[in-house]
Amino acid sequence: MTSPARTVSPAVAFAVAAAGIGLFSIMDAFMKSLVLGIGVYNALLWRTGLATIMAGAAWRIGGGQRPGARALRLHLARGVVTATMATLFFWGLARVPMAQAISLTFIAPILALLLAAIVLGERVGPRVAGASVVALLGVLVILSGNARLTLAAEAWLGSIAILVSALLYAVNLVIARVQSQAARPAEIAFFQSAVVVAVLAVAAP
């Protein structure tokens, strides 16, 4: 099912995205505590399971129509990418300081811009490109600082896991961009969480 075109003010879209990022950061803080307490798998399974229930309720209230073949393929692809991305990120988050972990993910928007330009044909303006270069330099500064410190092997592995997660997050963002044109937000949230739970359930035994 393809949702009808909707015109939204850029300022409203920006505010909604900023609020989402803020809530995402708060969630990271809670998840780090949970990961240290009950492990990555259990924390992620509980989080995604509850999200599936809440998003499923919102999807049903909104009509709960069956997604089309294209939307379903996008849901499955993004769910698999998200499951891998989240597992790597939270595993790494338990092994490096939170500020450093989030800073390393700043590389994701840069990669997303490149992927969007290549895959979606979107144009990247000079201001956006300049801001991306600054973010990339910040990531390089963090990594160079790590190189001068005597870090435990797990801290290095955690940093690598977060960088790989950032790469997958960039892929996730590009898929989400296409998803937003093929399905409604409640449907996207429900199927993403449901697919992640299904992927995690494979490891349950």
Residue 1: per-residue pLDDT: 47
pLDDT in tens, the chain (205 residues): 444 445 677 888 888 888 877 787 787 778 878 888 888 888 889 889 999 999 999 888 888 788 888 989 999 999 999 999 999 988 988 888 877 777 778 778 778 877 887 777 777 777 777 777 777 777 777 666 655 555 567 777 888 898 899 889 989 989 988 888 888 888 998 999 999 999 999 887 7
Residue 143: per-residue pLDDT: 67
Indicate the number of domains in the chain. Answer: 1
Residue 165: per-residue pLDDT: 92
| Amino acid found at 154 | E
Residue 21: per-residue pLDDT: 77
The answer as to whether 83 is a domain residue is yes
The answer as to whether 188 is a domain residue is yes
Task: Kindly report the pTM of this predicted structure.
Answer: 0.76
The answer as to whether 194 is a domain residue is yes
Q: Which residue has the tokens 């849901």?
A: 75
99 near 35, Cβ under 8 Å? no
86 near 170, Cβ under 8 Å? no
The answer as to whether 1 is a domain residue is no
The answer as to whether 2 is a domain residue is no
The answer as to whether 4 is a domain residue is no
Range of the domain at 83: 10-202
Pick from 90, 137, 138, 131: which is nearest to 112 by CA?
Answer: 131
- For residues 29 and 75, give the distance between their C-alpha atoms in angstroms, rounded to a whole number: 27
Residue 104: per-residue pLDDT: 79
| Amino acid found at 44 | L
The answer as to whether 120 is a domain residue is yes
The answer as to whether 3 is a domain residue is no
